[in-house]
Structure 1
Amino acid sequence: MDNYRFILSGGGTGGHIYPAIAIADELKLRYPDAAFLFVGAKDRMEMEKVPRAGYKIKGLWISGIQRKLTLKNLMFPFKLISSLISAGKIVAKFKPSVVIGTGGFASGPVLKMASRKGIPCVLQEQNSYAGITNKLLAKKAAKICVAYDDMGRFFPEDKIVKTGNPVRADLIDPIKHANEAYEFFGLNPEKITLLVLGGSLGARRINELIEKELGFFSKLGIQLIWQCGSVYYEEYKKYHSADVKVYDFLYKMNFAYSAADVIISRAGASSVSELCIVGKPVLFIPSPNVAEDHQTKNAKSLVLKQAALMVEEKDLADKFEEVFSNLNESEEHKKLLSENIKALALPDATKNIVDEIEHLLKS
């Protein structure tokens, strides 16, 4: 039997959406006749990204709780009740074989209602510090797929499987695209290339830093691929030149990783997993504005293993140039970071997660 039915739920950020799509793609490969339905939060990016990947999606009226007292917080109980009712109807109508949650507030009501009906649920936790939704759902989950060690702090040990985070298949061997990549970006293969990543929307503080340090990079003879994000592109596109390539979004990530000698990045879970596979020296500048400061925790877990460097936003003015100069001048340090981050890679994560789902289907 391969006419299984799968509900996948997760969203709010690319870090929750892209793993869900990767899992769906692998399930579809194994079960071509299976039916798929995504459930996300209305008005969030999954409502656009998921259909673009070829899957149907339904939206729930749900959002997270803000850290300060706002009107949105007062609406939360009503949104939660509405979402639980809607999720119950979706589950009853679709009759899924398994429900997979990749985090984000929309996955809460869906997995809650599915587990009530005795439908097996799989959680996929991307971060080293578990998100609130997954922590609340853990007791009812059949399996919890994680990317880091020591996750027994958050979840029942007997349900945890270390699989890694799903990443895009075209990133598995980025080195082979190097010559094409230099040509694609119009870069000089003889120069050191710095790749700057701030996420699809962009990172204001990273963009401000790069703008301020353009002269510093020029003195070091470094050329840049600078992904400033769609929100900031109009502001920074004026810096596009022979040595500074400015983009709102990088559609050819495999080329960007191939060309890069050093990478500056946020420390979202999906980014960290990709960068482990890419195996280049990384300087993380984690966002301090995310739930439970999980980006800093993600970055620190690599720094402790001498697999990456980190400068927190509050320290950029004092520490960035020194940290970057020391890295740039030491080929030995670059080699060490590359080897150590590569050793943490889990390139078969998507297959491992789907193997766990298969065990549930056949048990």
Structure 2
Amino acid sequence: MGNYKFIISGGGTGGHIYPAIAIANELKRRFKDAEFLFVGAKDKMEMEKVPQAGYKIEGLWISGLQRKLTFKNLMFPIKLIKSLLRARNIVKKFQPDIAIGTGGFASGPLLKMAAISKVPYVLQEQNSFAGLTNKVLAKNAEVICVAYDNMERFFSNGTIVAKTGNPVRSDLIEIKVDKDEASDFFGLHNNQPILLILGGSLGSRRINQFIEKELSFFKELGVQLLWQCGKLYYEEYKKYDSDIVKVKSFLNKMDFAYSAADFIISRAGAGSVSELCLVGKPTLFIPSPNVAEDHQTKNGEALVKEDAAILIKEKDLDTSFEATFKALMKSKEKQQILATNIKKLALPYATLDIVNLIEGILKLNKILQNKKKEAAMRWPRFNKWRF
């Protein structure tokens, strides 16, 4: 039962990689003797993050289409063909029992070859607006695991869609550190409001530039900052580190960061949104406009509709932010409404639910295989054309 082979593809961003690793970890916990192989895009962060998590990974020469005509787009057909051939060889050699795709450039070629090789596969769509790759692959998927309501509209009729939520870090399902301990850990004072600023693991240039411009505004309000500027920008912004502004390239202890925060500013990537639903703090989303199909804006808007968050587009920051944030700080009622409503949207057991579905598919396929073997033994001629 435990000798299954799992092939998993997800990458390009942390939003695709970390769910894939979370799913693999839970599968590994259940099936001690299972084998795992990840497939990612060469030169993307999964080639570093997946081995760090203890898993093997193969790389494909693949990248996404750019929004405007570029040399990279002209190379796309060549990359796609080479990646399909490489993926076919990987699937043939590894012979997985099931494939799992969490999005990203490499998942397309891998799951296409899995389908051709009659390998069942599961898709995990993190965003409120389905990506092109998952829409193309949906037809042959055993099940598509989603995090938002009404996702069926993106997929062909008959596709099984299950609302499971997005896998999140296990230490966030139940945060055990209290605010005093968390504030002290970062060298901040618990008697003044703390604003946590998240721009993603690499950081956001636009958010960093805006926070830099607003430092005096936050100081006037008596707000302390826990500012995760990203490793690409740390050298530029570390000069602002002080008693009331803590500049970090990366936050390893997110449970401490979330516990310390009174307010949160964040991008609206699928993983971030899922984490913040668990955390249940007043949140202001600044979605990145530079992502496929503007899915971050759609993710944030899905929460705004539930009165569970505030959203300000990058282009409106200079004109809207100060008044919006000041009003939020003054209204304890609004803070409570946002915190309560965002918490209601949390799906803390997403990883378990996704793996339960995967395990169910494996068991069903095992039963079907046994039935076919029995039929072959009883009616060998019938089996020749029926099975």
TM-score, structure 1 length as denominator?
0.99
Q: Which stretch shows the higher mean deviation, 61-70 or 178-187?
A: 178-187
Residues 22-54 of structure 1 show CA distances to partners (whole Å, capped at 9, x for unaligned) of 000000011111000000000000000000011
* Counterpart position of 2:6: 6
Deviation at 1:175, TM superposition (A): 5.5
Residue 254 of structure 1: how far off its partner (Å)? 0.8
Q: SS at the partner of 2:15?
A: helix
Structure 1 partner of 2:380: none
Q: Is the 8 A contact 2:269 2:299 kept in 1?
A: yes
**Aligned ranges 1:330-349 → 2 under 5 Å:** 330-349=331-350
Aligned-partner SS, 1:189: coil
Q: Which residue of 1 aligns with 2:54?
A: 54
Per the alignment, residue 300 of structure 1 pairs with 301
Aligned to 2:183: 182
Tell whether the 8 Å contact from 1:283 to 1:308 is kept in structure 2 after alignment.
yes
* 1:242 alignment counterpart: 243
Q: 1:90 matched to which residue of 2?
A: 90
CA contact (8 A) 1:177 1:254 kept: no
Structure 1 stretch 56-65 or stretch 169-178: which is displaced more? 169-178
- For structure 1, list consecutive stretches of 5 or more residues without a partner in the other structure: none
Per-residue Cα deviation, 1:272-315 (whole angstroms, up to 9, x for no partner):
00000001010000000100000000000000100000110010
1:196 maps to a residue whose letter is I
Could you tell me which residue of structure 1 aligns to residue 165 of structure 2? Answer: 164
Task: State yes or no: 1:231 paired with 2:232.
Answer: yes
Moved more, 3-12 or 179-188: 179-188
SS of residue paired to 1:321: helix
Deviation at 1:184, TM superposition (A): 1.2
Distance 1:285 1:211 in 2: 15
| 8 Å contact kept, 2:177–2:255 | no
User: In the TM superposition, what whole-angstrom CA distance separates every residue of 1:332-357 from its partner, at most 9, and x where no partner exists?
Assistant: 11010000000000000000000110
Letter paired with 2:351: T
For structure 2, list consecutive stretches of 5 or more residues without a partner in the other structure.
365-387
What is the identity percentage for the equivalent residue pairs of Structure 1 and Structure 2?
Answer: 67
**Deviation above 3 Å: which 4+ runs of structure 1?**
none
Look up the match of 1:199: 200
**RMSD (Å) for aligned C-alpha atoms:** 0.8
Shift of 1:208: 1.0
Distance apart, 1:158 and its partner CA? 4.2
Distance 2:301 2:314 in 1: 14
User: Are 2:36 and 1:36 aligned?
Assistant: yes
Q: What is the SS of the residue equivalent to 1:289? A: coil
* Alpha-carbon separation, structure 1, partners of 2:101 and 2:123: 5
Measured in 2, the distance between the counterparts of 1:37 and 1:286 equals 33
CA contact (8 A) 2:308 2:342 kept: yes
Q: Is the 8 A contact 1:16 1:102 kept in 2?
A: yes
- Provide closer, same or farther for how the CA distance between residues 158 and 85 of structure 1 changes in structure 2, counting only shifts above 3 A: closer
Specify the code of the residue in structure 1 equivalent to 2:97.
S
| Residues 141 and 159, structure 2, Cα contact 8 Å, conserved in 1 | no
Deviates more, 1:214-223 or 1:344-353: 214-223
The structure with the largest alpha-carbon Rg is 2
TM-score normalized by structure 2?
A: 0.93
Q: How does 1:71-90 map to 2 (within 5 A)?
A: 71-90=71-90
Q: Which amino acid aligns with 1:131?
A: G
| Distance of aligned partners of 1:158 and 1:66 in 2 relative to their CA distance in 1, 3 Å threshold | closer
